Chain A
């Protein structure tokens, strides 16, 4: 009897403390707009002494001289940030680059880097604990971003951005992505919409077999089968594949927007629908099924990692795969050319669609973003200082001026010989010298006026890679790009359900390709998708698009 009472009591105590813990943390994120400076001092226990005095000083000056806020960096401000990174090793938070920023902007930058693998786990904990730094980096807009924005954790930036030229130049299609309920909650980083993964083909194989570049799915099928069966590399062995494919149908065989997985096609009611349940995608699946039957794609593709499929392509075993012309490493291309000296690569131009259009789906136009802590609301000095820094690093420097003659570039990259070297008139970052470059610490990219301005071929050294990239850029210059409107709205149903639904579709289509399910069952699969919540998602997304006047556009 006694134990039972104790158990009940303890359970009650635990429940209460548990709830209180949650409540407390929610309050921290939710209300931090209200009690800005007090939370700041209590939460940042890691670096208390400097911080307390700093904040105190801030409030004092704020109260007295508010006009001083803009552009006079005569007061040292402590600015903390947290962001994810793919860099390895991680930049040293106290590296030379950070010191250079501190001197130039008169700040004390406390940056924290977390590998992206774990960032999605760490950030929510830091958020819930009310431990938020001044700047918060994220990879993209997801359910968490929208949730935190709605809860008031981030500072609305609408009133600030017009003062900064580079920030102002961000196009509306990208601002839409970081806008929640009409308020801009983040400053996105540039990433070219045009230069995502594109289908590439071994042009030398085409020539060896006397084939021409495919322009329809029928021709593509013939080419891929010939690549697998007719010894395109002339080594006398039957060791080639037509098309590289990895599990979850990565990357598939999309040759234009209509057949891709973005929201391009419409249903009978005129609503936009996700690509993977469209008739266009069905065509892709049918092709892959035929290729599988003919042995033109690997028998093991359904369990192959994309890294292995890529490895096969760059080992010269595959005829068609996907690569991008931007931000690539030369290593793989060099390797292909070494083992296959005759190799020539080309992007397959998009096929003409049923609606007459011709073009690939673009990327969202940004990658990574920075939000500001809502606590900064009463500290315009700090907001301006941060935005000034972001604006500075975002200001585009034309590619042909990125050298040691340009003082801004030189400074941003830590100086010649330290952060970068000049080779053949091109500035090349020194491997692993992240910590020498101020640029590293804000993680902001130049915002290019147009995608062509990034001139990705300019910075490459290896002639083979360079010529491939240049040919890809030239081709894409005259090709249209479809901007998927779903990137510009925030549908909670989509965030909540789509990955589960996509998973089911991916399983069905995988079975269709390997012949365990008939492609004739396509409509059944679509029905299943729609009935399990897909229709609700479609309704909501279309409603949001109509409400905000956004539609898919060709650029």
Chain B
């Protein structure tokens, strides 16, 4: 039998629904606007104050982008480091989390080390020195290895592993499983939601790789899509100082591409990672829930 709902309940629901719809519109509007501009002709964009629905849908902007090898290559680079980086990160995080649930000698000490990096970062220059000393400069691995394990994710994942009943381990041990088998056959299958959630975190992080790419990669052909995107969507922020006057004068020879192309680039750099979300969404929600109270 459905629960009886009073009038005031319904009104509250109605208001909530309305507000939430409004909120989602506010969030969706920029996406819509960018999409609309990216499909319009530059002429129309220039002559319309607020372009909401292009009279003529054209693919000029996308054609331009796909014709420049640079953007496509950078998408390729980003896809590569996103996939490889997420896998490496998940592998390292989960194996270390697994090791840290065992009551071994020094376990607390290692956990403390992890926590320490969580609180104190090394800073840009020392990290750069390490990357340089390990010969990773100009290698894609410099984007993957230094950030492979996030201390926060590691701790949460360890917590998740701890919630798997001890008895399962014992049963597996009695059946003759070694540590590796416990990890692959017991822990991992039971942790799919957590792996999906953290995989998504890592993937989004890798997808947004920007500054480390500029810092560690000297060869511009290796740059990620966010760096290229930044170059396309140059912020035109003039300040009224004479020092910037020469810069501005010199800069005006290199005009940023038309807005339609900028918008198309934003769309192309965002869509691939957005597509990942729906597929991981259900695991993701479960993953977040599973950490909480269990019945």
> A317-334: contact bitstring with B at CB < 8 Å (1 yes, 0 no)?
000000010111101000
Contacting residue for B238 out of A117, A122, A250, CB 8 A: A250
> B225-239: contact bitstring with A at CB < 8 Å (1 yes, 0 no)?
001001110111111
Please name all residues of chain A whose beta carbon is closer than 8 Å to the beta carbon of B12 when the two chains form the complex. none
- Asked if A315 and B250 make an inter-chain contact with CB atoms under 8 angstroms apart, the answer reads no
What residue of chain B has the Cβ atom nearest to residue A126's Cβ?
B128
- Asked if A86 and B251 make an inter-chain contact with CB atoms under 8 angstroms apart, the answer reads yes
Contacting residue for A122 out of B70, B215, B219, B231, CB 8 A: B215
- Asked if B236 and A306 make an inter-chain contact with CB atoms under 8 angstroms apart, the answer reads yes
- Asked if A251 and B240 make an inter-chain contact with CB atoms under 8 angstroms apart, the answer reads yes
Tally A-B pairs: CB < 8 A.
146
Contacting residue for A6 out of B112, B126, B239, CB 8 A: B112
Please name all residues of chain A whose beta carbon is closer than 8 Å to the beta carbon of B236 when the two chains form the complex. 305-307
- Asked if A324 and B252 make an inter-chain contact with CB atoms under 8 angstroms apart, the answer reads yes
- Asked if A191 and B250 make an inter-chain contact with CB atoms under 8 angstroms apart, the answer reads yes
| B132: Cβ under 8 A from any A Cβ | yes
| A197: Cβ under 8 A from any B Cβ | yes
| B274: Cβ under 8 A from any A Cβ | no
- Asked if A191 and B246 make an inter-chain contact with CB atoms under 8 angstroms apart, the answer reads yes
Separation of A112 and B219 alpha carbons in the complex (Å): 7
> A63-104: contact bitstring with B at CB < 8 Å (1 yes, 0 no)?
000000000000000000000001111101100000000000
Contacting residue for A197 out of B230, B243, B248, CB 8 A: B248
> B133-171: contact bitstring with A at CB < 8 Å (1 yes, 0 no)?
101011000000000000000000000000000000000
B170 to chain A, nearest CB (A): 30
- Asked if B218 and A46 make an inter-chain contact with CB atoms under 8 angstroms apart, the answer reads yes
Category for how many chain B residues contact A: 35 or more
- Asked if A305 and B47 make an inter-chain contact with CB atoms under 8 angstroms apart, the answer reads no
- Asked if B240 and A129 make an inter-chain contact with CB atoms under 8 angstroms apart, the answer reads no
- Asked if B125 and A21 make an inter-chain contact with CB atoms under 8 angstroms apart, the answer reads yes
- Asked if B246 and A196 make an inter-chain contact with CB atoms under 8 angstroms apart, the answer reads yes
| A361: Cβ under 8 A from any B Cβ | yes
Contacting residue for A18 out of B126, B137, B239, B246, CB 8 A: B126
What residue of chain B has the Cβ atom nearest to residue A24's Cβ?
B129
- Asked if A140 and B243 make an inter-chain contact with CB atoms under 8 angstroms apart, the answer reads yes
- Asked if A21 and B243 make an inter-chain contact with CB atoms under 8 angstroms apart, the answer reads no
A45 to chain B, nearest CB (A): 6
Separation of A328 and B248 alpha carbons in the complex (Å): 11
A49 to chain B, nearest CB (A): 13
- Within 208-224 of B, Cβ neighbours of A (below 8 Å) are at 211, 214-215, 218-221
A41 to chain B, nearest CB (A): 14
What residue of chain B has the Cβ atom nearest to residue A327's Cβ?
B253
| A364: Cβ under 8 A from any B Cβ | yes
| A292: Cβ under 8 A from any B Cβ | no
In the complex, the 6 A-B pairs of residues with the closest C-beta atoms, listed nearest first: A307-B236, A306-B238, A86-B254, A367-B246, A90-B220, A88-B231
Chain A residues packing against B (C-beta within 8 Å): 3, 6, 10, 14, 18, 21-22, 24-25, 45-46, 86-90, 92-93, 112-115, 117-118, 121-122, 125, 128-129, 131, 139-140, 191, 195-197, 246, 248-252, 260-262, 305-307, 311, 315, 324, 326-329, 331, 335, 339, 361, 363-364, 366-368, 484, 487, 502, 506
Chain B residues packing against A (C-beta within 8 Å): 46-47, 68, 70, 109, 112, 116, 120, 122-126, 128-129, 132-133, 135, 137-138, 211, 214-215, 218-221, 227, 230-232, 234-243, 245-255
Q: Name 9 extra pairs, CB < 8 A, besides A250-B239, A363-B246.
A: A90-B231, A115-B230, A117-B231, A122-B215, A129-B125, A197-B245, A252-B240, A306-B236, A364-B243
